[in-house]
Amino acid sequence: MEAGRKQRTRLLVHNSVFVVLLIAAVALTAWLAREYRTTWDWTSNARNTLSPASAELLKQIDGPVRVTSYLNMQDPQSADLKRMMEQFFGRYRREKPDLALAFVDPRIEPRLAQAAGIRVNGEMVVEYQNRTQHLTDLSESSFGNALMRLKRAQERLILVLDGHGERSLTGGANHDLGEFGRQLQAKGFKPGTLNLSLAPDVPVNAAMLVIASPQVDLLPGEVNKIKAWLKSGGNLLWLVEQGSLRGLQPVAEQLGLVLGPGTVHDPATESLKAPPGTGIAARYPRHPITEGFTLLSVFPQARAIGSQEGGDWKAVPLVDVAPRGWIETGKAGEKPTFDKGRDVAGPVNVASAFERPFEDRTQRVVVVGGGDFLSNAFVGNGGNLDLGVNIVNWLAGDDNLITIQPRPATDLSLDFSPAALYTIAFGFLLVLPLVFGVTGIVIWWRRRRR
Does 209 share its domain with 86? Answer: no
Q: Assess whether 180 and 324 both reside in one domain.
A: yes
Q: How many whole angstroms separate alpha carbon 372 and alpha carbon 322?
A: 17
How many Å apart are CA 377 and CA 222, to the nearest integer?
30
Whether 23 maps to a domain, the answer reads no
Proportion of the chain above pLDDT 90, given as a percent: 31
Distance CA 165, CA 214 (A): 5
Q: How many domains does the chain have?
A: 3
Instruction: Report the alpha-carbon distance of residue 384 to residue 380 in Å, rounded.
Output: 6
Is residue 128 domain-shared with residue 185, that is, in the same domain? no
Asked whether residue 412 carries a pLDDT value surpassing 60, the answer given is: no
**131 and 209 assigned to the same domain:** no
Here the contacts of 15-18 (C-beta below 8 Å, separation 24 or greater) are: none
pLDDT (mean) for 222-247: 94
Same domain flag for 83 and 194: no
Instruction: Please indicate, yes or no, if residue 34 is contained in any of the structural domains.
Output: no
Q: So what's the pLDDT on residue 40?
A: 61
DSSP letters of 103-142? EE-TTT-HHHHHHHT--STT-EEEEETTEEEEE---SHHH
Task: Answer yes or no: is pLDDT of 229 > 90.
Answer: yes
Cα dihedral 20, 21, 27, 31, rounded to 10, equals: 150
pLDDT (mean) for 262-287: 80
What's 76's domain CATH number?
A: 3.40.30.10
Same domain, 160 and 181: yes
- The CATH number for 223's domain is 3.40.50
Query: Do 184 and 110 reside in the same domain of the chain?
Result: no
Q: Is residue 368 part of a domain?
A: yes
**Cα separation of 68 and 101, whole Å?**
6
How many H-runs (helices) and E-runs (strands) does the chain carry?
11, 18
Residue 19 lies in a domain: no
Residue ending a domain, among 132, 149, 166, is 149
d(CA 393, CA 148): 11
pLDDT in tens, 115-150: 888 888 888 999 998 888 888 888 887 888 788 878
Confidence at 408, pLDDT banded by 50, 70, 90: very low
Residue 311 placed within a domain: yes
* Cβ atoms of residues 68 and 124 within 8 Å: yes
Burial of 212 (0-12, 13-18, 19+ CB in 10 A): buried
The reply to whether 363 and 223 lie within a common domain is: yes
Q: Is residue 408 one of the residues assigned to a domain?
A: no
DSSP tag of 326: E
- From the list 331, 317, 335, 206, the residue with the least C-alpha distance to 267 is 335
Domain that includes residue 423, residue range: 413-443
Domain-embedded: residue 105: yes
Is 327 strand, coil or helix? strand
What's the CA gap between 171 and 375, in Å, rounded? Answer: 10
- β-pair partners for 373: none
Sheet with 348-358: list strands edge to edge.
189-194, 156-161, 206-212, 236-239, 361-368, 348-358, 314-321
* Same domain membership, residue 181 and residue 79: no
304 and 216 both lie in a single domain: yes
Residue 24 has pLDDT above 80, yes or no: yes
Cα separation of 372 and 213, whole Å? 9
pLDDT digits (tens, 9 = 90+) for 147-167: 887 877 667 899 999 999 999
Pairing of strands 361-368, 236-239: parallel
Same domain for 344 and 290: yes
Asked whether 44 and 415 are in contact (CB, 8 A), the reply is no
Q: Kindly report the backbone phi and psi dihedral angles of residue 332, in degrees, each rounded to the nearest multiple of 5, phi listed first.
A: -60, 140
Structural domain includes residue 44: no
For the stretch 357-404, pLDDT in tens is 998 889 999 999 989 999 999 998 888 998 999 999 899 887 666 554
Is the model's pLDDT at 54 over the cut of 60? yes
Residue where a domain terminates, one of 98, 120, 149: 149
The sheet carrying 326-328 orders its strands as: 263-265, 326-328, 344-345
Per-residue pLDDT, 342: 72
Could you tell me if 240 and 375 lie in one domain? yes
Q: Judge whether residue 409 has pLDDT over 50.
A: no
Euclidean distance between the first and final Cα of the chain, in Å? 39
